[in-house]
Amino acid sequence: MHYGDKGASTAVFLDPPYVGFERLYGAQNPVALDVARWAAERPNVRIAVCGHVGDYAGILDGWQVHEWSRGRLTYGGGETTDLEAIWFSPACADVARVRAEQTEMFA
């Protein structure tokens, strides 16, 4: 991201090791919360942050959240299968509106 960019043409997709699963990636400290705080400080940039439902409570409040199911096992089990989520910054397009438009486009 260029420092002179005001966010109009920049999009950032962040998929950090999820809270509680850092060890699977060799991380000793939870980096996901630092990633979310960094993103929260840039509400005028189009940012998407991945995680599990509830990971960023109190940090990304007011952001649009799209919850979804992986539909398969991962991390050696299924306890998080239905807890996937992506948070979209205030600068992003309205998720529900875009989803509806795309559904119409492919109907």
- Per-residue pLDDT for 89 more than 70? yes
96 vs 85: which has the higher pLDDT = 85
Give the residue with greater pLDDT, 10 vs 35: 35
Q: Give the model's pLDDT for residue 69.
A: 73
Among the listed ranges 2-11, 33-42, 44-53, 94-103, which one has the minimum average pLDDT value? 2-11
pTM exceeding 0.85: no
Q: Given a cut of 70, is residue 75 above it in pLDDT? A: no
DSSP string, the chain: --TT--SSS-EEEE-PPPTT-GGGGT-SS--HHHHHHHHHT-TTSEEEEEEETTTTTTTSTTSEEEEE---S-BTTBSTTTT-EEEEE-TTSPPHHHHHHHHHHHT-
